[in-house]
Chains A and B, each alone.
Chain A
Amino acid sequence: MSFMFWILAALTIAGGLAAVLLKNLVHCALAVTVAFAGLALLFLQLDAQFAGFAQILVYIGAVAILVVFAILLTRGSETPKKEIGVFSRTWLAGLVVAAALFAVLSWAVLQSAGGLSQDDAAPTVSVLQIGQALMGRYVLPLEIVALLLTAATIGAVIVAMHEKEDSK
């Protein structure tokens, strides 16, 4: 395992942890952005350049901003009161479930560790190939995703607007 991988992995994990543990919501949003960045770099490490850049563009550029907007709009930047706390009253149950999940998954991974994976030659993927695949083999999912995006946009607008009309 290369050295780069470990650093990037650590960065991503740290970002994720910070996102989940921090009190201030804005700090959380920024931490998750770091996690996204780490992931993008990992994609690049994995020779999936398109995916990496798409990650940066979409996640960091759109989703993270959206999250920050939402936080600001819902007064999430205010520090919560001391007695309530940021974690739910029954946080232990959730932690246990997550831990169980990690245990199962890691166990599955480690069990079959000897399976595939050698350091094969890195595949060279050009954007032309991706475009051809999109228009060729994956044209249907493309169209559906387009539809989905349209619906999501409209839906988000309607959800936001609907509230406005009601409150008037």
Chain B
Amino acid sequence: MLMQEMASVPFAPTTHCGPAGICDSLWLIPALPIVASGVIALMKQPQRKAAAALSIGSLAISLLLALVAFGHVVSGWTHGAAVRETVNFTWIQVGSAHVDLGWVLDPLAAVMLVMVCFVGLLIFIYSTGYMAHDENFTRFFCFLSLFAGAMLGVVIANSLLLLFMCWELVGLTSYLLIGFWYQKPSAAAAAKKAFLTTRVGDVFFLLGMVWLFAQTGTLLFYNGGAGSMEALKLGGLLATPSGLGLTAAGAIGLLIFAGAAGKSGQLPLHVWLPDAMEGPTPVSALIHAATMVAAGVYLIARVYPLMQAGALVGGTTAALTVVTWVGAATALFAALIAVAQNDIKRILAYSTVSQLGYMMAGLGMGGVAVGMFHLITHAFFKALLFMGAGSVIHGCHEEQDIRKMGGLRGAMPTTFATYAIGMLALSGFPLLFSGFWSKDGILEAAQHWSVGKAPFYMLVFGALLTAFYMTRQVSYVFFGKWRGHGQAHESPKVMTTPLAILAFFAIALGAIGTPAWPWFRAFLEGHAAEFGFAGFNEPGLLALMVTSSVVVLLGLGLGWWIYGNKSPQVETPDALERAVPPVWTVLQNKFYVDELYGVTVIAFYAWWAKVADWLDRRVWGGVVALVAWLFRGGAQLSRLSDEYWVNGGFDKGCEELSNSGGLLARVQSGKVQTYLRLLALAVVVLAAILIWSSRG
């Protein structure tokens, strides 16, 4: 688990899929839920059972396929040959330049696939119970399926472009689901905020993607040696300098990290995550705890060769340093805010932000395996916590303020038991729970970080705070007296069974990440895993385990001591609030980050929008009006000319004709003498002619 062992692992060269291999049909895994979503979109609202069945069924089949893929990779790994199979195809071809898409099956993808499908399936089943009274049930499952398909697309993408497309699709479904109850203005605003904030990150992501394509000519990750994550292209990127003392690899890595920071709610783009709690609780559980926010972490794990390129053994790169600092800062920042929140879901939201910071720090300091292990364990216990919170809200008749709950230990025993397991896993209760092992992995990597020790202390303090605020929350909700209205009741089996399953995994997953049997790390890195206690002999490891246990127990104890069985009423200020009012106010107002954004970014944007509006209305509108005026003037001229010249001329001509006709008609005067005169004239003329001609 030391930095030395983190050097790039020798994978077998990426192979194309074998015949009839699972990776040929890997595309089915995201495709099935998306197709299901499409079919549900065409269904009518009352067809609830059919929609739910289709949704759950498609994801179940995807889970089966994911398990098959996982088995394939495991079998390859146990036989000593690490598997990385890809299927690539050309999407756009312009002359000699072409843009390829494709999917990849390797340990990282396999693990993520199983996790997303499994947790997703459990949450789908949970949702049938939670959303049972909602009239937009069918629409909910349509969006959920679409999300699941898009997320799975992100997981198996072998091309940065395909990943980006599914990334955006995930963002879209997140918007749709946060704003599911769109009649609520706060929900609509929260959805917009989420979309726009992640968009800021995505702009940088796009820039990084374009730069990568320009430098390497390919967006594929693995392409038989020619992919952008493979040695050949990475070497080229390292050799290219960019500004600020970074290489091209570092700069692109930072740009991509900016995109991940938006999606995973890192500082300063974290502001959307707590507001995203406006969505239904299953949405919070699936998207904003287990999967979508983890997509940022997964992205960094995917482009890790790029982030890590140029690092000497035992050292690190500029990109990874930035990742670490941002992650550590986020972890501490969010944990502090979580202490002072009163909404059950908001506490969990800030907890998620904090844990995402942990994951990023883990990636930065400890490598892919460390960060990903925490991601997997966090997915399970955070989904469990959110679903438990949903059960509590359901049982308290849609109440979300923890000060109005209490004593639910007796009224909702299953929920309490599973919630307690999740809470202990999150806090990192020693030895039994997976959270302990995953967080310890990160702390160990932080302890040995070559740049400095500050992140270590931040993360340790964060762990203390995590235990503290979770204890506070649990005391408020499950202990003490019932302060709500009506009678609290347990949730139906369809909601509590997934809770139980997740609770089991919250405990059991720890087993694959202990130093005694570092199966997870070995699996991801492609070498064999031995079971043995020799792993505990790493220097400083036991001391660290003791330290973190002490910290956790301290946090739990402090929380219980301050909040314990007491059940303060809503009006009574919080204990901490009474102790340090200014600190409490700052924490409760989330360090005023939203207000800061409102004054700076949003105000500037509003001003700019006004300028653009003025420009549009006055300048461009003026131009358009001028053109229109010119046209109308021209039309008037045309009309005038038509009326006076053309028509007038024509009329005059006709008049003249008529007049001349009249004039000519005068010849027929009816008077004999006139005719006679004409006759005589004719005779004169004739005579003249005759005489003249006969003369000659």
Contacts and interface: CB of A to CB of B under 8 A. Distances in A.
Interface of A: 88, 90, 93-94, 97-98, 100-101, 104-105, 107-108, 111
A97 B673 contact: no
A87 to B, nearest CB: 10
Given A97-B684, A100-B684, A101-B684, A88 B691 contact: no
A94 B695 contact: no
Contacts of A100: 681, 684
Given A108-B691, A111-B695, A93 B684 contact: no
27 contacts: A88-B673, A90-B674, A93-B677, A94-B673, A94-B676, A94-B677, A94-B680, A97-B677, A97-B680, A97-B681, A97-B684, A98-B680, A100-B681, A100-B684, A101-B680, A101-B683, A101-B684, A101-B687, A104-B684, A104-B687, A104-B688, A105-B687, A107-B691, A108-B687, A108-B691, A111-B691, A111-B695
B219 to A, nearest CB: 104
Contacts of B684: 97, 100-101, 104
Contacts of B695: 111
Nearest to A94: B677
Contacts of B680: 94, 97-98, 101
Nearest to B686: A104
Most buried by A among B674, B676, B684: B684
Interface string B660-681: 0000000000000110110011
A66 to B, nearest CB: 20
Contacts of A97: 677, 680-681, 684
Nearest to A108: B691
A94 B674 CA distance: 8
A20 to B, nearest CB: 13
A104 B676 CA distance: 18
Interface of B: 673-674, 676-677, 680-681, 683-684, 687-688, 691, 695
Most buried by B among A93, A94, A97, A107: A97
A101 B681 CA distance: 8
A105 B683 CA distance: 11
Nearest to A109: B691
Determine chain A's interface SS by DSSP, over half rule: helix
A108 B604 CA distance: 111
Contacts of B673: 88, 94
A98 B676 CA distance: 11
Nearest to B687: A104
Contacts of B687: 101, 104-105, 108
A104 B688 CA distance: 6
B683 to A, nearest CB: 7
Which 3 A-B residue pairs are closest in the complex by CB-CB distance? A108-B691, A101-B684, A97-B680
A92 to B, nearest CB: 11
A104 to B, nearest CB: 5
Nearest to B680: A97
A47 to B, nearest CB: 28
A28 B677 CA distance: 21
Nearest to B669: A90
A90 B667 CA distance: 13
B250 to A, nearest CB: 114
Nearest to B674: A90
Nearest to A93: B677
A101 B688 CA distance: 9
Contacts of A104: 684, 687-688, 691
A93 B667 CA distance: 13
Nearest to B695: A111
Nearest to B673: A88
Contacts of A105: 687
Contacts of B674: 90
Nearest to B682: A97
B561 to A, nearest CB: 138
Contacts of B676: 94
Nearest to A98: B680
B680 to A, nearest CB: 5
Nearest to A91: B673
A98 B691 CA distance: 17
A155 to B, nearest CB: 19
Contacts of B683: 101
Nearest to A102: B684
Given A94-B677, A104-B687, 10 more contacts: A90-B674, A93-B677, A94-B673, A94-B676, A97-B677, A97-B680, A100-B681, A100-B684, A105-B687, A107-B691
Contacts of A94: 673, 676-677, 680
B1 to A, nearest CB: 134
A90 B666 CA distance: 13
Contacts of A101: 680, 683-684, 687
A108 B695 CA distance: 9
Nearest to B678: A97
A111 to B, nearest CB: 7
Contacts of A98: 680
A88 B675 CA distance: 14
A88 B688 CA distance: 27
A17 B674 CA distance: 21
A119 to B, nearest CB: 26
A112 to B, nearest CB: 8
A76 to B, nearest CB: 17
Nearest to B671: A88
Contacts of A88: 673
A101 B687 CA distance: 9
A108 B105 CA distance: 127
Contacts of B691: 104, 107-108, 111
A98 B684 CA distance: 9
B502 to A, nearest CB: 124
A107 B690 CA distance: 13
B695 to A, nearest CB: 7
A84 to B, nearest CB: 15
A111 B684 CA distance: 17
B397 to A, nearest CB: 117
Nearest to B679: A97
Nearest to B690: A108
A97 B695 CA distance: 23
Contacts of A107: 691
A111 B691 CA distance: 10
B671 to A, nearest CB: 8
Contacts of A111: 691, 695
A102 to B, nearest CB: 9
Nearest to B681: A97
A39 to B, nearest CB: 21
Nearest to A112: B695
A74 B681 CA distance: 30
A100 B676 CA distance: 14
A80 to B, nearest CB: 16
A93 B688 CA distance: 19
A105 B688 CA distance: 8
A94 B680 CA distance: 9
Contacts of B677: 93-94, 97
A59 to B, nearest CB: 22
B599 to A, nearest CB: 103
